[in-house]
Structure 1
Amino acid sequence: MLRKRMSVFLAMVLVLGLLAGCAPKAPAPQGETPAPAEQAVKIAMVTDVGGVNDRSFNQSAWEGLQRAKSELGVEANYLESRQEADYETNIETLVDQGNDLVWGIGFLMGNTIEDAAQNYPDQKFAIIDYAYENTPANLVGVVFKEQEASFLVGYIAGKMTKTNKVGFIGGMDFDVIHRFHYGFKAGVKFANPDAEVLEQYAGAFDKPAIGRSIAEGMYQQGADIIFHAAGDTGNGMIEVAREQNKFAIGVDKDQNADAPDHVITSAMKRVDNAMFNIAEELKDGNFPGGTTVVYGLAEGGVDIAPTSDKHVPAEILAEVESLKGKIVSGEIKVPQSKEEFEAQ
């Protein structure tokens, strides 16, 4: 008898469950629609030949995207270029992967990114270190006033040299590196008109062995401080400075950690901030396509490294702070080319 009652009870439960499942669902309140799930913004970058671990501007760019991933929830990715021939293929791969924004990192990618922007008008692009005369509406260029930070580290080198000889190693001979080069020379001259600047271009950003060779020659000629704007090539110089107990000045990132007793300062170029800021604007629907964004001292885009106080005397750092204000106000105009330097 108990078994029969239990069977009837279970049958009733089943019927009620079916009726509930067939019942019409309550309509959404009039004028409201369910909010779709928000999809993460996808941003990817193509590195220059120095690679993502160059301890310079490629690495700084990737750190900016990682910060955007952490703080903004974007999806971040990169492809490394081993040679210039990889640029076009890597860019097309990232477009095919459905990224909302594709970055080219470095001046050498300028023409390839512009061609891609024209070939894919519905795709957003951005590039570090390139300004176009007529920027496509789906592309933003980001450039820096590298000469301003370079002037400051040049001033430090001019004040701190004991031999009245300092050195500059450039990666490749084009406008971006000229801004580092002649800003540095101007800073050295401003601090110490008697100081000589040894200068040489390596012809590459990914050849630390060449950086070593150039640095060994400069230190042998009497330079006691060398500044590089050469990506991974310049890391070879820093190794020589450590081995020979000389001084080095880093670039792009604070490179003191690479040789804590020998990297006295660095000309920082906040590529990471630029990457993060553009990501934030894109996520907010304010992508600045068709424009060139410029970062200098006034915009917090360049500066000397925060670890400078480990080796640079306090009185020199105080003078540097004064120089910053004069650069921002326009009282000091820092040259960004050979022509501007020689005209001073």
Structure 2
Amino acid sequence: QQLNRLAQISILQALTSSPHALMAQLNTMARNQTVPEQLATAVSEVVGRMRTSAKLDGLGKLIEQLRHERPDAWRLVVFTSRLETQTTIQAYLEERGISVGIINGSSGPRNQITLQRFRRNPPGCHVIVSTEAGAEGINLQVANVLANYDLPWNPMIVEQRIGRVQRLASEHAKVSIFNVILQGTFEEYIVGRLMEKLQMASHAIGDVEALLEASGADEDDENAGTSFEERIRKLVLAALAGKDVKEAVRLEEQSIAEAKAELEREQENIDRLLGGMDGAEYIGPRAPNLPPPAHSMEPKEFTLAALCTLGARLSQQGNGLHLSEHNGGRE
């Protein structure tokens, strides 16, 4: 409670990302004297004794399911916010014989090679593990499965992750999205519940920012995503302090549902006024409705008159034919 807002969010998000991410976060903060060094040391000792984590096991089971159902026809992108978590995932999967591509803020020169392997048929690697910084400007639409290994508390970042894979030019009719969540923790009953509620509602509406604004997420902040992140932080801290937050979480879910319903009503009103676009296909600009042209001359009459104007001498030959003589030429 004594830490500032950003420090609180950093620790809590590292905690739900991976043990190694938490250890790295606390070691950095201990060097900066933000947290006691004894805390960082104690966490490091615990992490050092851990063989694996529940999240890694969950990701492993998902991959086994994909390999069983579609041995060669699956490509998975795993998103994480932490480099330490990325390294842990890579080591875990490679120990099990799964080839992994890595995209992060320092992998730029290797990204094209990684993507080429990912796009091959069959793929040279079935899994890419990426951070937000690495994926900026990268097209991952060849993937048909996305896993959020950790969930950012800012919904706009989650939408950006999905947008890297779920694009209009994707060859896949559907992209499966999985959130890897620690069961029985605040990540499940606060972060996971609210984020999944938002994802489903924004999929129906098509505009997560409008949904956040309609739900009141930007009342005290110009950035709706940052404001929603702050609402989650307060709920998590209250839960960790032993307070019952079930009703508060229910009210947040209700505000999302009400915002979705309000936006749908607004869209229906617009459709009634202007006409809906369901089933419509853009075929370019419409041609104007003009009256039929009024011709002063028939085509044959016009052609003969034009030849005379150009200086040709015409003589009728029968059967509707004419001989045109001009400058020594005959036609």
| TM > 0.5 | no
Into which bin does the TM-score normalised by the smaller protein fall? 0.3 to 0.5
Higher percent of residues as helix:
2
Rg bigger for which structure? 2
Q: TM-score, normalised by structure 2?
A: 0.35
